[in-house]
Structures are given as structure tokens and as C-alpha cells.
């Protein structure tokens, strides 16, 4: 029993307690710089975005962040002419018209415009099929909007519904452009693929084929007042190439 209280044992016990206390004080200490525990099933946090984009605004040229920050007014010099030459042969009427638009809207670029036009095309086609007047209103000029609404209401009176599936766009190209006073107009020829069927009140097919992909060629004209602070382009005319 006395061996427990042997001076050497007491010294070793005291040393062990001292070392344990020191380890605990160091390992248990937080500096405030520790990384949080890693959770492989947690989605990485995204930067806070306080902006609230309008679902009905299509990023056509002129509605880019460049214009909102004033960067769209910067003179791009000959770079803009080179961009135009890529989509329209130098010396052609289309080339000249696009350069006229560029001269009053230095943010205009054909390729981003085509991307926005294709996005607008899909949104408009599907909104019309769904009878979504609200989605159409911000994308169409007043006259075109009234025409679309009249067609939707006429369809509803007959009790018909349209079922559409947008397959995709094969090709989109600028075929015409003009600058009339401050109004810029750009016409786009769009080759798309759709599955569309119209059904009557009883659900019977009255037009189209639910199992057939249809090739559609449309010629749509978009316009924007370059003298206005409103950056949005709107559909002002539609035409079928077939």
C-alpha cells in the first residue's frame, strides 16, 4: 500500500497530470479560424445576388449589363465593323444597315442578338401555346400582342387547347435590318422543330400529330427605340416562310 505513495510514483503521477492538463489546454482551444465541418451532401453556397431579373426580359443587345453601367456607349472602333462583316458580306445592304444600327448603339453585336432572339422565340412560341398572356406582354409590340391575344381567346371560345413540345432550333440568321429615325429593326429567319397538336373540347386531335416532329421556318422582326432608355427589343412582326 505504501508503494503507491512512494515519492517516485507521486512525482510521475504529478508529471502525468501536468502533461494532460497542458495538452487539453492546447488541443481544446479555438482560434476562430477553423474551417467548418465538410458535408459532401451540402450544395456549395452561391454568392448573394440581390438583383431580381424579370423572367420576361430576354438579353438581346441593348439590355446587357454593359448598357446599364454605361459601358455600352464606349466606342469599339473598327472592332464593331469586323463583327458585322462576319455575319453580312462587306458592301451588302444588310452589312450597311447593321453598321447603321451599330453607329447609334455601340453595344449591338449580331451573335449575342441572335442568341437572345432564339431565347425569345422559344418563350413566345410556348407562351402562345399555353395561352400565357402575361408572359407575352413584355415581349411583343402592342399590335402583335393584340393579334396573339385575339388568337388565344378565339381558341378558348372553341374550347380548343394546344399541346406543344419545343424540340430545338436548327438555324437562326439575320436576313434584314433597318434604322428608321431612332427605331432599329432586325429580322431573323428561324428554322425550328416542334411537336404540336391541337385538341377540341373532347380531347380529340383536330390539328397536328402528337408523335411527329414538324419543321417550322419563321421570319420574325424585332425592334427597339435606340433613343429610349428602355433597353428591351420586342417582336413587331411575324411571317411564315412556308
Q: What is the pLDDT of residues 162-175, one digit of tens each?
A: 999 999 999 999 99
Closest among 213, 214, 196 to 205, alpha carbons compared: 196
Lookup result for grid cell 449591338: 108
Residue 198 domain-assigned?
yes
pTM: 0.69
pLDDT digits (tens, 9 = 90+) for 195-218: 999 999 999 999 999 999 999 999
> What's the pLDDT score for residue 27?
41
CATH number at 96 reads 3.10.450.240
Closest among 166, 52, 187 to 113, alpha carbons compared: 187
Closest among 68, 51, 49 to 232, alpha carbons compared: 68
Residue 4 domain-assigned?
no
HEC secondary structure over the chain:
CHHHHCHHHHHHHHHHHHHHHHHHHHHCCCCCCCCCCCCCCCCCCCCCCCCCCCCCCCCCCCCCHHHHCCHHHCCCCHHHHHHHHHHCCCCCHHHHHHHHHHHHCCCCCHHHHHHHHHHHHHHHHHHHHHCCHHHHHCCECHHHHHHHHHHHHHHHHCCCEEEEEEEEEEEEEEEEEEEECCEEEEEEEEEEEEEEEEECCCCCEEEECCCCCEEEEEEEEEEEECCCCCCCCEEEEEEECC
Residue 6 domain-assigned?
no
Residue 141 domain-assigned?
yes
Least confident of 28-42, 146-160, 174-188, 220-234: 28-42
Instruction: Render the burial of 161-186: b for 16+ CB within 10 Å, e for the rest.
Output: bbebebeebeebebeebbbeeeebbb
Give percent above pLDDT 70 in the chain: 67
Least confident of 6-10, 100-104, 138-142, 233-237: 6-10
The total of structural domains in the chain comes to 1
Closest among 3, 238, 207, 4 to 121, alpha carbons compared: 238
Residue 18 domain-assigned?
no
> What's the pLDDT score for residue 49?
46
Distance between CA atoms of residues 167 and 126, nearest Å: 11
Q: What domain range is 83 assigned to?
A: 65-240
Residue 194 domain-assigned?
yes
Contact 56, 133 (CB under 8 A): no
Angle (CA) 18 22 25, round 5°: 140
Residue 108 domain-assigned?
yes
Residue 92 domain-assigned?
yes
Instruction: Render the burial of 101-121: b for 16+ CB within 10 Å, e for the rest.
Output: bbeebbbbbbebbbbbbbebb
Question: Torsion over CA of 143, 149, 155 and 160, rounded to 10 degrees?
Answer: 140
Amino acid at each position: 500500500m505504501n508503494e503507491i505513495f512512494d515519492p517516485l510514483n507521486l512525482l510521475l503521477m504529478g508529471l502525468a497530470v501536468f502533461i494532460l492538463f497542458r495538452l487539453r489546454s492546447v488541443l481544446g482551444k479555438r482560434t476562430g479560424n477553423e474551417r467548418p465541418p465538410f458535408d459532401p451532401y451540402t450544395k456549395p453556397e452561391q454568392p448573394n445576388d440581390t438583383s431580381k431579373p424579370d423572367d420576361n426580359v430576354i438579353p438581346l443587345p441593348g439590355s446587357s449589363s454593359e448598357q446599364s453601367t454605361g459601358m455600352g456607349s464606349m466606342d469599339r472602333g473598327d472592332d464593331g465593323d469586323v463583327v458585322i462583316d462576319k455575319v453580312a458580306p462587306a458592301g451588302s445592304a444588310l452589312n450597311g444597315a447593321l453598321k447603321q444600327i451599330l453607329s447609334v448603339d455601340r453595344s449591338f453585336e449580331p451573335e449575342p442578338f441572335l442568341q437572345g432572339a432564339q431565347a425569345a422565340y422559344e418563350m413566345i412560341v410556348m407562351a402562345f401555346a399555353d395561352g400565357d398572356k402575361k408572359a407575352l406582354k413584355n415581349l411583343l409590340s402592342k399590335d402583335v400582342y393584340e393579334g396573339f391575344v385575339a388568337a388565344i381567346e378565339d381558341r378558348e371560345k372553341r374550347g380548343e387547347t394546344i399541346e406543344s413540345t419545343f424540340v430545338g432550333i436548327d438555324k437562326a440568321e439575320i436576313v434584314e435590318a433597318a434604322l428608321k429615325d431612332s427605331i432599329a429593326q432586325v429580322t431573323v429567319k428561324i428554322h425550328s422543330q416542334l411537336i404540336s397538336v391541337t385538341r377540341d373540347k373532347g380531347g380529340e386531335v383536330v390539328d397536328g400529330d402528337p408523335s411527329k416532329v414538324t419543321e417550322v421556318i419563321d421570319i420574325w422582326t424585332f425592334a427597339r427605340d435606340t433613343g429610349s432608355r428602355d433597353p428591351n427589343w420586342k417582336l413587331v412582326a411575324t411571317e411564315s416562310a412556308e
